[in-house]
Homo-oligomer: A and B are copies of this chain.
């Protein structure tokens, strides 16, 4: 995309940069393309034992008994653990994991089921043996007896009066307070603005629609791997693939009742996460098995385990009611969102409620959200978690209103965005002016769709440290797992401050023993928040570089400044020295220079995204072919435009899969029938056009280089945009995801009736 860079960068903050905005080669490129990068499953150690997990075949059942004696007696088996190896605790024990809180009982129960299993694949026991095969054989020897219960698969079923209660001790939270017993609803969110009744009364047109979205998985390529060593001095080391080493440390600390400072988490390279590699699953099992055996214990999930036993994004039921005047002004909007929490409380409902109407400026709003426990794996974050479901529904109603009122759909967004000249309007305006929108569609069975979406992004804490080499290059250590090129986007920020090249920065990702606290790689926060910490570390280096020059020149440091890598005297023009020359002399003028920076996460900027998509429907098969796809997103300042574009393309691809193909296909007993990548179809390169990108640069005033964060909003609009395109191609409005060929043929036939 490099050649389109100028055309595809809109606005910008007008500052001149040397490094920011260029496209250097990524620092970890060679390791990644040669296969030399070390992922979790590459870790090995002498005497390592292999762990496997016994998982429930039932979606909902009481555990009557577990007998591990035969497994323990099997040759090669070194240890078996069950929930008896985790301290029991009452529900209501809330633990602070730094960036979130968790009910310790449910957390531990998800790691190892205690009294009942609440989803198919729920872990019951784990075995460590000399080989994977011996461990698998041992699983077959563990005898578990169950009382099978009927499963609850969807949120509406689970919310029904008289539904089986999955957790008898569950208390519904409403505004942070417990309000009800005997429910499967763990959280009830309510946002109200203005007077909703009055708003609808002002409308000329009111449309109310219902939507369902399927459970989908992040689909990261690398299954969860972990190795644990519980050492003789009681210190625990974990090598794992995670979005946040410090988060794993905090979660393990809570789960095992062990101080954080006795745990070291080494983040290996990560083969994708998208939110799904924030929670812990195998880590406590490997730790406990290591404690029992005294050996390293390694565990790697199968693909089916990833689908069935880790956190997908919630399936959801959503009802949207919107009213607008004839001129297209939305007067009122009501959203009812019921999101599946999975087997344990704590879903994505709050984020969904925050995002559902975020692109619009609506005077009268009610948003009510429900987090509902069902018999599926406990959900986890998935790229802008909760927002895609919500936008699929709200954008569909927006498009239907615009269509009914015969208003251009982008114009409809502009009418309802905030005032002219604000950021909320920049995206739709860029879409409206783009050649894609101005190219007519003329062939039959083709249609264009549009949709927009929002993600608020996260801040959270980060840390960074920089050491200067004698040749004026620097080593950077930071705490954020690099998923999408952040080694480079962070290095570039340091390079900009120090006036050296991106290639002069040698970045590495620290483990929890070697760098300050850093929250997860998630919430589109790394380039923003860890970038801010890196910026501060570089400023700390810069300050010291100026001091050293003042020692070398024997002048007051306040008379010096450093720009573009040159330290200069403000009043003696002859005094000038490059950062590199200073570095050569640093060891003798006070010692090696190190800088440190941290950031408390305040000031993140949200991100809007929009899609234009042209599709063609095959009326014989229901197959949707995407002809053209353009994604617009505001990035703040785009540090490394290629990676911004990569995020936009990746999120679009995932949104397209979510829209057209992906779903947990559940049988009535609550078993997933398609837990392989053959049957759970994510888009391949053959399924997608080249996704064109337009970066809208509206600098974040709270970041010294204007960064917002760009990893997530791009997944939000695609399902809604595709639904709109399908309607425009075939006249059918699909309100359930996925919009696969079966759905399209069913709707076509229904439409034809």
Q: Which residues of A contact B (CB under 8 A)?
A: 29-31, 34, 36, 42, 46, 98, 229, 231-233, 235, 259-261, 461-463, 465, 467-471, 473, 475, 477, 504, 506, 508, 510, 512-518, 533, 540, 587-601
Question: What are 8 A-B contacts with C-beta separation under 8 Å?
Answer: A29-B233, A30-B233, A465-B594, A465-B596, A475-B512, A591-B600, A591-B601, A594-B598
For A264, give the chain B residue with the smallest CB separation: B506
A470-B517 contact, Cβ under 8 Å, with A231-B36, A463-B592: yes
CB distance from A407 to the nearest CB of B (A): 46
> For A462, what are the chain B residues with a Cβ–Cβ distance below 8 Å?
591-592
CB distance from A506 to the nearest CB of B (A): 6
**A475→B593 contact, CB < 8 A:** no
> For A516, what are the chain B residues with a Cβ–Cβ distance below 8 Å?
467-468, 592-594
How far does the alpha carbon of A462 sit from the alpha carbon of B473 in the complex, in Å? 18
Identify A598's interface contact among B46, B513, B591, CB under 8 A: B591
**B463→A34 contact, CB < 8 A:** no
> For A465, what are the chain B residues with a Cβ–Cβ distance below 8 Å?
465, 594, 596
> For A46, what are the chain B residues with a Cβ–Cβ distance below 8 Å?
42
How far does the alpha carbon of A510 sit from the alpha carbon of B540 in the complex, in Å? 20
> For A259, what are the chain B residues with a Cβ–Cβ distance below 8 Å?
471, 473
CB distance from A39 to the nearest CB of B (A): 12
> For A593, what are the chain B residues with a Cβ–Cβ distance below 8 Å?
516, 598
How far does the alpha carbon of A510 sit from the alpha carbon of B511 in the complex, in Å? 11
How far does the alpha carbon of A30 sit from the alpha carbon of B518 in the complex, in Å? 28
A469-B592 contact, Cβ under 8 Å, with A510-B514, A514-B508, A587-B98: no
> For A599, what are the chain B residues with a Cβ–Cβ distance below 8 Å?
591
For A253, give the chain B residue with the smallest CB separation: B471
Identify A514's interface contact among B36, B231, B477, B590, CB under 8 A: B477
CB distance from A598 to the nearest CB of B (A): 4
> For A533, what are the chain B residues with a Cβ–Cβ distance below 8 Å?
591
For A476, give the chain B residue with the smallest CB separation: B513
**A517→B30 contact, CB < 8 A:** no
CB distance from A592 to the nearest CB of B (A): 4
| Nearest 4 interchain pairs by C-beta | A30-B233, A591-B600, A591-B598, A516-B592
**A463→B513 contact, CB < 8 A:** no
Query: Oligomeric state, in number of copies?
Result: 2
CB distance from A256 to the nearest CB of B (A): 15
> For A512, what are the chain B residues with a Cβ–Cβ distance below 8 Å?
475
Identify A261's interface contact among B34, B469, B518, B540, CB under 8 A: B469
CB distance from A272 to the nearest CB of B (A): 22
How far does the alpha carbon of A508 sit from the alpha carbon of B514 in the complex, in Å? 8
> For A592, what are the chain B residues with a Cβ–Cβ distance below 8 Å?
461-463, 516-518, 598
How far does the alpha carbon of A506 sit from the alpha carbon of B259 in the complex, in Å? 13
How far does the alpha carbon of A254 sit from the alpha carbon of B587 in the complex, in Å? 18
**B463→A594 contact, CB < 8 A:** yes
For A465, give the chain B residue with the smallest CB separation: B465
How far does the alpha carbon of A510 sit from the alpha carbon of B468 in the complex, in Å? 14
> For A598, what are the chain B residues with a Cβ–Cβ distance below 8 Å?
590-594
How far does the alpha carbon of A229 sit from the alpha carbon of B30 in the complex, in Å? 13
How far does the alpha carbon of A462 sit from the alpha carbon of B516 in the complex, in Å? 20
> For A513, what are the chain B residues with a Cβ–Cβ distance below 8 Å?
475, 477, 506, 508
Other A-B pairs beyond A261-B475, A467-B515, 11, CB < 8 Å:
A29-B233, A34-B232, A36-B231, A260-B469, A261-B471, A261-B506, A461-B592, A463-B592, A463-B594, A510-B514, A590-B598
> For A588, what are the chain B residues with a Cβ–Cβ distance below 8 Å?
600
CB distance from A550 to the nearest CB of B (A): 16
CB distance from A142 to the nearest CB of B (A): 30
CB distance from A668 to the nearest CB of B (A): 46
How far does the alpha carbon of A260 sit from the alpha carbon of B471 in the complex, in Å? 8
For A584, give the chain B residue with the smallest CB separation: B96
> For A589, what are the chain B residues with a Cβ–Cβ distance below 8 Å?
600
How far does the alpha carbon of A593 sit from the alpha carbon of B597 in the complex, in Å? 8
> For A517, what are the chain B residues with a Cβ–Cβ distance below 8 Å?
467, 469-470, 587, 592
> For A31, what are the chain B residues with a Cβ–Cβ distance below 8 Å?
231, 233
Most buried by B among A31, A34, A588, A600: A600
CB distance from A507 to the nearest CB of B (A): 9
How far does the alpha carbon of A513 sit from the alpha carbon of B487 in the complex, in Å? 14
How far does the alpha carbon of A510 sit from the alpha carbon of B601 in the complex, in Å? 27
> For A229, what are the chain B residues with a Cβ–Cβ distance below 8 Å?
36
Most buried by B among A513, A594, A595: A594
**B594→A514 contact, CB < 8 A:** no
> For A30, what are the chain B residues with a Cβ–Cβ distance below 8 Å?
231-233, 235
How far does the alpha carbon of A340 sit from the alpha carbon of B24 in the complex, in Å? 52
How far does the alpha carbon of A235 sit from the alpha carbon of B514 in the complex, in Å? 22
Identify A591's interface contact among B261, B463, B510, CB under 8 A: B463
CB distance from A268 to the nearest CB of B (A): 14
> For A477, what are the chain B residues with a Cβ–Cβ distance below 8 Å?
513-514
How far does the alpha carbon of A31 sit from the alpha carbon of B233 in the complex, in Å? 8
How far does the alpha carbon of A12 sit from the alpha carbon of B456 in the complex, in Å? 60
> For A508, what are the chain B residues with a Cβ–Cβ distance below 8 Å?
513-514
> For A461, what are the chain B residues with a Cβ–Cβ distance below 8 Å?
587, 591-592
A261-B473 contact, Cβ under 8 Å, with A590-B600, A592-B518: yes
How far does the alpha carbon of A471 sit from the alpha carbon of B590 in the complex, in Å? 33
> For A467, what are the chain B residues with a Cβ–Cβ distance below 8 Å?
463, 514-517
> For A587, what are the chain B residues with a Cβ–Cβ distance below 8 Å?
98, 461, 517, 600
CB distance from A32 to the nearest CB of B (A): 10
How far does the alpha carbon of A470 sit from the alpha carbon of B42 in the complex, in Å? 31
